[in-house]
A and B are shown apart, each in its own frame.
Chain A
Amino acid sequence: MNRTKVDEEEYWNSSKFKAFTFDDEDDELSQLKESKRAVNSLRDFVDDDDDDDLERVSWTGEPVGRRTRLGSFQSLSDALTDTPAKSYAPELGRPKGEFRDYSNDWSPSDTVRRLRKGKVCSLERFRSLQDKLLLLEEAVSMHDGNVITAVLIFLKRTLSKEVLFRELEVRQVALRHLIHFLKEIGDQKLLLDLFRFLDRTEELALSHYREHLSIQDPEKRKEFLKTCIGLPFSVEDAAHIQDHYTLLERQIIIEANDRHLESAGQTEIFRKHPRKASILNMPLVTTLFYSCFYHYTEPEGTFSSPVNLKKTFKIPDKQYVLTALAARAKLRAWHDVDALFTTKNWLGYTKKRAPIGFHRVVEILYKNNAPVQILQEYVNLVEDVDTKLNLATKFKCHDVVIDTCRDLKDRQQLLAYRSKVDKGSAEEEKIDAILSSTQIRWKN
Chain B
Amino acid sequence: MAAHLSYGRVNLNVLREAVRRELREFLDKCAGSKAIVWDEYLTGPFGLIAQYSLLKEHEVEKMFTLKASRLPAADVKNIIFFVRPRLELMDIIAENVLSEDRRGPARDFHILFVPRRSLLCEQRLKDLGVLGSFIHREEYSLDLIPFDGDLLSMESEGAFKQVANMMIRMKREFTGSQNSVFPVFDNLLLLDRNVDLLTPLATQLTYEGLIDEIYGIQNSYVKLPPEKFAPKKQGDGGKDLPTEAKKLQLNSAEELYAEIRDKNFNAVGSVLSKKAKVISAAFEERHNAKTVGEIKQFVSQLPHMQAARGSLANHTSIAELIKDVTTSEDFFDKLTVEQEFMSGIDTDKVNGYIEDCIAQKHSLIKVLRLVCLQSVCNSGLKQKVLDYYKREILQTYGYEHILTLHNLEKAGLLKPQIGGRNNYPTIRKTLRLWMDDVNEQNPTDISYVYSGYAPLSVRLAQLLARPGWRSIEEVLRILPGPHFEERQPLPTGLQKKRQPGENRVTLIFFLGGVTFAEVAALRFLSQLEDGEIRASFSQ
Binding site for B on A (CB under 8 A): 3-4, 7, 10-11, 14-17, 19-20, 22, 28-29, 32-40, 42-43, 45-46, 115, 118, 143-147, 149-150, 153, 181, 184-185, 206, 209-210, 212-213, 236-237, 240-241, 243-244, 247, 281-285, 313, 315, 319, 322, 360
Binding site for A on B (CB under 8 A): 10-11, 14-15, 17-19, 22, 26, 87, 116-120, 122-123, 126, 131-132, 137-141, 143-144, 152, 158, 161-166, 169-170, 173, 181-185, 356, 359, 361, 387, 390-392, 394-400, 402-403, 406, 507
A-B contact pairs, 6 of them (CB 8 A): A17-B138, A36-B14, A42-B163, A42-B170, A45-B166, A319-B359
Please determine whether B143 and A284 come into contact, CB atoms closer than 8 angstroms.
no
- Contact flag A46-B165 (CB < 8 Å), given A29-B17, A34-B184: yes
Please give me the residue from chain A that is nearest to B160 by CB atom: A143
Please determine whether B183 and A243 come into contact, CB atoms closer than 8 angstroms.
no
Please determine whether B118 and A146 come into contact, CB atoms closer than 8 angstroms.
yes
Nearest Cβ in chain A — how far from B417, in angstroms?
Answer: 16
Please give me the residue from chain A that is nearest to B359 by CB atom: A322
Please give me the residue from chain A that is nearest to B11 by CB atom: A32
CA distance A185 to B185 in the complex (A): 42
Please give me the residue from chain A that is nearest to B386 by CB atom: A236
Select one of A14, A20, A181, A360 contacting B141, CB under 8 A: A20
Please determine whether B144 and A39 come into contact, CB atoms closer than 8 angstroms.
yes
Residues of A within 8 A of B395 (CB): 283-285, 313, 315, 319
With A35-B11, A240-B402 given, name 18 new contacts (CB 8 A): A3-B132, A17-B139, A20-B18, A20-B141, A29-B18, A33-B181, A38-B185, A39-B10, A45-B169, A46-B166, A149-B120, A184-B120, A209-B402, A213-B400, A241-B399, A284-B394, A285-B396, A319-B395
Residues of B within 8 A of A22 (CB): 18
CA distance A236 to B390 in the complex (A): 9
Please determine whether B399 and A240 come into contact, CB atoms closer than 8 angstroms.
yes
Nearest Cβ in chain B — how far from A90, in angstroms?
Answer: 27
Nearest Cβ in chain A — how far from B112, in angstroms?
Answer: 9
Secondary structure at the B interface, as helix, strand, loop or mixed, is helix
CA distance A56 to B410 in the complex (A): 45
Select one of A150, A209, A283 contacting B397, CB under 8 A: A283
Nearest Cβ in chain A — how far from B147, in angstroms?
Answer: 14
Residues of B within 8 A of A284 (CB): 394-396, 399
Residues of A within 8 A of B19 (CB): 20
Residues of B within 8 A of A115 (CB): 119
Please determine whether A236 and B387 come into contact, CB atoms closer than 8 angstroms.
yes
CA distance A406 to B117 in the complex (A): 78
Number of A-B contacts (CB under 8 A): 139
Please determine whether A35 and B170 come into contact, CB atoms closer than 8 angstroms.
no
Please give me the residue from chain B that is nearest to A282 by CB atom: B398
Residues of A within 8 A of B396 (CB): 283-285
Please give me the residue from chain A that is nearest to B131 by CB atom: A11
Select one of B119, B126, B406 contacting A206, CB under 8 A: B406
Select one of A14, A46, A146 contacting B119, CB under 8 A: A146
Select one of A11, A39, A243, A313 contacting B15, CB under 8 A: A39
The 7 A-B residue pairs with the shortest CB-CB distance in the complex, in nearest-first order: A7-B132, A244-B399, A17-B138, A143-B161, A283-B398, A284-B395, A34-B184
CA distance A212 to B398 in the complex (A): 13
CA distance A206 to B400 in the complex (A): 10
Please determine whether A38 and B403 come into contact, CB atoms closer than 8 angstroms.
no
Please determine whether A206 and B402 come into contact, CB atoms closer than 8 angstroms.
yes
Residues of A within 8 A of B132 (CB): 3-4, 7, 10-11
Please determine whether B14 and A28 come into contact, CB atoms closer than 8 angstroms.
yes
Residues of B within 8 A of A281 (CB): 398
CA distance A104 to B45 in the complex (A): 44
Nearest Cβ in chain B — how far from A143, in angstroms?
Answer: 4
Please determine whether B403 and A35 come into contact, CB atoms closer than 8 angstroms.
no
Residues of B within 8 A of A236 (CB): 387, 390-391
Please determine whether A35 and B184 come into contact, CB atoms closer than 8 angstroms.
yes
- Contact flag A7-B184 (CB < 8 Å), given A143-B161, A146-B120, A149-B119: no
Residues of A within 8 A of B22 (CB): 20
Please give me the residue from chain B that is nearest to A142 by CB atom: B165
Please determine whether A17 and B140 come into contact, CB atoms closer than 8 angstroms.
yes
Please give me the residue from chain A that is nearest to B401 by CB atom: A283
CA distance A153 to B122 in the complex (A): 13
CA distance A40 to B536 in the complex (A): 12
Please determine whether B399 and A40 come into contact, CB atoms closer than 8 angstroms.
no
CA distance A149 to B120 in the complex (A): 8
Please determine whether B87 and A185 come into contact, CB atoms closer than 8 angstroms.
yes
- Contact flag A143-B122 (CB < 8 Å), given A46-B169, A319-B395, A322-B359: no
CA distance A31 to B117 in the complex (A): 31
Please determine whether B117 and A118 come into contact, CB atoms closer than 8 angstroms.
yes
Nearest Cβ in chain B — how far from A45, in angstroms?
Answer: 5
Please determine whether B15 and A40 come into contact, CB atoms closer than 8 angstroms.
yes
CA distance A426 to B268 in the complex (A): 47
Nearest Cβ in chain A — how far from B82, in angstroms?
Answer: 13
Select one of A17, A45, A241, A247 contacting B170, CB under 8 A: A45
Please determine whether B14 and A241 come into contact, CB atoms closer than 8 angstroms.
no
- Contact flag A181-B18 (CB < 8 Å), given A45-B169, A243-B399, A285-B395: no
Please give me the residue from chain B that is nearest to A42 by CB atom: B166
Please determine whether A36 and B402 come into contact, CB atoms closer than 8 angstroms.
no
CA distance A145 to B123 in the complex (A): 15
Please give me the residue from chain B that is nearest to A115 by CB atom: B119
Residues of B within 8 A of A243 (CB): 399
Please give me the residue from chain A that is nearest to B163 by CB atom: A42
Nearest Cβ in chain A — how far from B295, in angstroms?
Answer: 39
Nearest Cβ in chain A — how far from B13, in angstroms?
Answer: 9
CA distance A147 to B18 in the complex (A): 28
CA distance A379 to B387 in the complex (A): 33
Nearest Cβ in chain A — how far from B386, in angstroms?
Answer: 9
CA distance A36 to B361 in the complex (A): 50
Residues of B within 8 A of A19 (CB): 141
Nearest Cβ in chain A — how far from B91, in angstroms?
Answer: 12
- Contact flag A32-B14 (CB < 8 Å), given A42-B170, A118-B117, A322-B359: yes
CA distance A3 to B133 in the complex (A): 11
CA distance A6 to B399 in the complex (A): 52
CA distance A15 to B138 in the complex (A): 8
Residues of B within 8 A of A313 (CB): 395
Select one of B116, B359, B403 contacting A210, CB under 8 A: B403
Nearest Cβ in chain B — how far from A176, in angstroms?
Answer: 11
CA distance A79 to B126 in the complex (A): 23
Please determine whether B139 and A11 come into contact, CB atoms closer than 8 angstroms.
no
Please give me the residue from chain A that is nearest to B125 by CB atom: A11
Select one of B18, B397, B507 contacting A36, CB under 8 A: B18
Please determine whether A181 and B120 come into contact, CB atoms closer than 8 angstroms.
yes
CA distance A17 to B396 in the complex (A): 52
CA distance A213 to B394 in the complex (A): 15
